[in-house]
């Protein structure tokens, strides 16, 4: 397997000054937590303009912030998930997903040009994935070979490591329509640093990029504030190399479809010390319908399909609630809770992502020093709903397709009880000027 590096990757390391680890699975493969305050408030921030980290959820909030800022946040993510295989897999008890913990950077800068205009830029990690299943987790792949005399072709489809390393650079500009309403527009440049989709005998590694756009608005009136933010979908063409069993290393490509994201929310300030916000988020996961791996030429004719998997995910609606309490002149306490809906249906279940509903609780603190530095910390715990998978008969599917069907999604090859939890610990500093 060959890995491809780009000058962008090294420039990114220099820019952030941070060690970038592989991100790990969130709901779907989105990572909505984009600031320390976002972690602490379970991402209920689209109507907020009092906290620096609100900018990463609503770029128009910079027009209502009292000061400009430069912020650097680190979000640590630890995932503990497992599957207990069920028949026709060998029932071994829990098998742990061996994904690595991750440290995700979020760097953002805002500056007012005048009372009416402002600009900002955000570098973050909105999507990511790492799932690592030991090679004998789903034994039905091996037993299916024997049942249909496939000569090892099916056993080689056993998923092992799936990972996605992606960053987004989002510059934006905004203006105040009047004293109460501001809007912002920007672009989202997505860069896949590396994607891996590996099985027992096949490996793929590649990179790619694409550009989307975003639009945000925020409205303030008396004790109320309303906010909305939209990020368009994107289709990233991945070019790289595939090590295909029996064929060797070949040039290959696929397309990674990212969903559009819409978040709307309302915040009410009950007192000068207490603010409560409720947000609703819509994620267009129906964009993620399939993954097709094809040859780009060389020894294998261009356009030859190596594999095709059907995802057919559904759009989802997520709910978020956050509370900000001004405990003292310099200290704010943050509390949050939320619910994120699974996008992956049973008919196309895929263990490389193993999506499920999740619920979260979160806390945090923001302290402002005398020299206009804000020191921030947040913690979030998310429960992943237990999910029992009982898919269709994979052997029958293979026989019907003449033994050539490489798509195991939604079949009993992945039968099992999936469970786990996610923890996030974040720290950051903001300089106000």
Cβ neighbour number for residue 289 with a 10 Å cutoff = 12
| Cis before 88 (ω within 30) | yes
Query: DSSP E strands: which ranges in 13-89?
Result: 69-85
- Residue 149 makes CB contacts below 8 A (sequence gap 6+) with none
Structure tokens at 332: 């704010």
Confidence (pLDDT) at 27:
63
- Residue 122 makes CB contacts below 8 A (sequence gap 6+) with 34, 55, 56, 59, 106, 107, 108, 168, 169, 170, 172
DSSP string, 269-304: EEETTEEEEEEEEEE-GGG--EEEEEE-STTS-TT-
In the block, tokens 């959820």 appear at: 57
8 Å CB contact between 80 and 95: no
- Residue 167 makes CB contacts below 8 A (sequence gap 6+) with 12, 20, 123, 124, 125, 190, 191, 193
Confidence (pLDDT) at 291:
86
Question: Of how many residues is the chain composed?
Answer: 433
pTM: 0.92
- CATH class of residue range 7-432: mainly beta
Along the 433 residues of the chain, how does pLDDT read in single tens digits? 222 333 333 333 333 333 344 444 446 799 999 999 999 999 999 999 999 999 999 999 999 999 999 999 999 999 999 999 999 999 999 999 999 999 999 999 999 999 999 999 999 999 998 999 999 999 999 988 888 877 778 888 899 999 999 999 999 999 999 999 999 999 999 999 999 988 887 788 899 999 999 999 999 999 999 999 999 999 999 999 888 766 778 888 999 999 999 999 999 999 999 999 999 999 999 999 988 888 888 778 888 887 788 899 999 999 999 999 999 999 999 999 999 999 999 999 999 988 999 999 999 999 999 999 999 999 999 999 999 999 999 988 887 776 666 789 999 999 999 999 999 999 999 999 9
Query: DSSP E strands: which ranges in 86-223?
Result: 95-96, 102-112, 117-124, 128-132, 159-176, 181-199, 203-221
Cβ neighbour number for residue 147 with a 10 Å cutoff = 14
Q: What ranges do the domains of the chain cover?
A: 7-432
Beta bridge partners, 374, equal: 368, 430
């Amino acid at each position: 397997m060959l890995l491809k590096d780009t000058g962008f990757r090294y420039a990114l390391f220099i820019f952030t000054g941070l060690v970038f680890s592989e991100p790990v699975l969130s709901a779907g493969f989105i990572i909505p937590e984009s600031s320390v305050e976002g972690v602490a408030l379970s991402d209920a921030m689209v109507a907020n303009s009092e906290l620096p980290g609100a900018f990463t959820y609503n770029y128009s909030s910079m027009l209502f912030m009292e000061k400009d800022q430069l912020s650097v946040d680190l979000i640590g993510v630890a995932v503990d998930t497992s599957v207990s295989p069920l028949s026709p897999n060998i029932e071994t008890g829990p098998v742990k997903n061996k994904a690595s913990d991750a440290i995700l950077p979020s760097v953002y800068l805002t500056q007012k040009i005048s009372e009416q205009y402002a600009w900002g830029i955000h570098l973050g990690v909105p999507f990511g994935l790492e799932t690592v299943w030991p090679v004998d987790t789903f034994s039905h792949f091996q037993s299916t070979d024997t049942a249909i005399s496939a000569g090892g072709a099916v056993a080689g489809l056993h998923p092992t490591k799936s990972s996605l390393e992606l960053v987004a650079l989002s510059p934006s500009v905004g203006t105040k329509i009047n004293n109460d309403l501001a809007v912002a527009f920007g672009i989202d440049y997505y860069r896949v640093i590396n994607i891996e989709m590996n099985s027992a005998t096949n490996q793929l590694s590649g990179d790619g990029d694409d550009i989307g756009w975003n639009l945000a608005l925020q409205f303030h009136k008396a004790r109320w504030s309303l906010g909305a933010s939209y990020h368009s979908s994107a289709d990233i063409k991945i070019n790289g190399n595939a090590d295909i069993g029996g064929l060797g290393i070949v040039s290959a490509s696929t397309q990674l479809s990212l969903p559009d994201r819409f978040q709307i929310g309302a915040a009410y300030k009950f007192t000068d010390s207490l603010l409560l916000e409720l947000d609703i988020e819509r994620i267009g996961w129906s964009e993620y319908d399939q993954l097709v791996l094809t040859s780009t030429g060389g020894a294998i004719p261009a356009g030859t399909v190596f594999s095709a998997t059907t995802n057919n995910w559904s759009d989802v609606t997520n709910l978020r609630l956050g509370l900000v309490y001004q405990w003292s002149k310099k200290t704010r306490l943050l509390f949050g809770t939320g619910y994120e809906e699974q996008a992956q249906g049973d008919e196309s279940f895929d263990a490389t992502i193993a999506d499920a509903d999740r619920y979260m609780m979160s806390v945090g603190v923001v302290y402002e020093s005398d020299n206009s530095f804000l020191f921030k910390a947040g913690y979030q715990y998310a429960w992943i709903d237990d999910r029992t998978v009982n898919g269709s008969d994979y052997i029958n599917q293979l026989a019907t397709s003449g033994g050539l069907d490489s798509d195991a999604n939604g079949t009993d090859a992945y039968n099992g009880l999936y469970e786990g939890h996610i923890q996030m610990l974040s720290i950051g500093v903001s300089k106000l000027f």
